[in-house]
Structure 1
Amino acid sequence: MTTSSKCHDTPPVAANDRSAVAASPRIKLYKRRIAINHPDPQAGERLLAEALGAVDRDALHGLLKQLVKASVIGQKPDEANLAFMISMVKSIAPRDSIEAMLAAQMVSVHVAAMRSACRLAFSDDILQQESVTRALTRLGRTFAAQIEALSRHRNNGERAITVRNLSVQDGGKAIVGNVTQHASVIVARPNAAADAGPVPRHEVGEHDEAEVRQGASA
């Protein structure tokens, strides 16, 4: 891989966009090599490494080569498609090596899904339509699973649950205090009992779950 002295940074879409931060240098594809278009070779590699979440030069070049292969259109790597993929990885903002690899996979799956959608739009053969539809469905499910995997990784393996609305009907009771989430049951901790500490997960059994449900229906 080489670094070209020409700079073709992609300008930000809007002045208040997040991309207003230093734009990542573009990649120039040659027959047997790829080059980073930036006047400062080290700065160009640093900007791309930050955009892709690469921890070092080897990781950066490895991710770039993989993205180049995934950008192929008509059996040939495509610069515009590669620039789009790098931009999408940057927008995901990977924070470690796991997120960097997952972001690259997510972008590659999205590109493959859109190619399948294009084939489906131009196909008049029923059997081919069914085959492409199945492929597109699998790719869509894979992409959704990747989003969930990224969310779990960023939340230390826990699913985030947000309660947006709470309504208490006549005769009902509302709980004021912290709510601890567990895999099978949500245990409420009133403020008065907060000093007792959270309920251990292994101590929450069927009996406790029944009491919680009974209290909620009271």
Structure 2
Amino acid sequence: MAGKPKKTATVRSDVRAFPEVVMGNDGKLKVTVASDDMIPALLGMKSQDAAKVVFCSALEALGAGVESAGGMASAMFAELEPVDAVEAMLVAQMTATHMAMTAAAGRMTHQTDVRFRESSEKAMVRLSRLFTYQMDALKKYRRKAQQVVRVERVTVNEGGQAIVGDVVKADGG
């Protein structure tokens, strides 16, 4: 496992604050927040209770990996900057999917049994495909369903009119 990045004394203004997530000596996960509204602000959510549930579910999705990756899950909310509950839930899902994919990659690398190696490879492929779908869903959601109408060619003779869009007869047909 790679070492933890070194913390520097400089603070950038474009860096979003996020809770510190560590495993305590008692074996319980500890989340340190600067203020009560830190998690809702980080997740772009209005309700403190809902934000806490989404945040905790993102951590729980990591399972046993939460000890080593809990801080990364917290930081992903800062990186992807969700602006509402839907985006926050997608970020939580994307983080869990990414962690599962990298875990499968780790298992695949160390397997000598061909069957287990192939099983891990299949899981990796499915998870990477799922991650791509999740990214596309986030992009599409952030676009707020822009509708584009492209007109290839319209010919309107003198005195005529053109209608661009769906045409529905008055009788509903």
Higher relative contact order (CA 8 A, sep 6+): 2
Alpha-carbon contact 2:111-2:117 (below 8 Å) kept: yes
Tell me which amino acid in the other structure corresponds to 1:148: D
CA distance in 2, matches of 1:17, 1:130: 45
Structure-to-structure mapping, 1:173-192, within 5 angstroms: 181-182=148-149, 186-188=150-152
Alpha-carbon distance between aligned partners in 1 of 2:163 and 2:13, rounded to the nearest angstrom: 42
More strand as a share of residues: 1
The answer to whether the 8 A contact 1:49-1:55 is kept is: yes
Task: Say whether 1:148 aligns with 2:136.
Answer: yes
User: Based on CA coordinates, which of the two structures has the bigger radius of gyration?
Assistant: 1
Q: CA deviation at 1:71?
A: 2.7
Selected match of 1:73 from 57, 64, 68: 64
Per-residue deviation at 1:134? Answer: 0.9
For these two proteins, the number of residue pairs brought into alignment is 155
Aligned equivalents of 1:188 and 1:13: distance in 2? 57
Paired with 1:82 and 1:199, the residues of 2 have a C-alpha distance of 52
Q: Give the match for residue 131 of structure 1.
A: 119
> Partners of 1:51 and 1:140 in 2: how far apart?
26
Match of 1:5 in 2: none
Contiguous gaps of at least 5 residues in structure 1:
1-9, 160-180, 191-195, 204-218
* TM-score normalised to structure 1 length: 0.60
Match of 2:14 in 1: 18
How far, CA to CA, are the matches of 1:26 and 1:198 in structure 2?
57
Offset at residue 28 of structure 1 (A): 4.0
Q: Are 1:189 and 1:198, in contact at CA under 8 Å, matched by a contact in 2?
A: no
- Normalised by the length of structure 2, the TM-score is 0.74
Gaps of 5+ in 2: 1-5, 155-160, 168-173
Q: In the TM superposition, what is the alpha-carbon distance from 1:50 to its structure 2 partner?
A: 1.6
- 1:199 partner letter: V
Q: 1:35 to 1:125 in 2, by over 3 A?
A: closer
The residue that corresponds to 1:168 in the other structure is none
Quick check: 1:113–1:136 contact (8 Å CA) kept in 2?
Answer: yes
Aligned-residue Cα RMSD (Å) equals 3.1
Partner of 2:41: 50
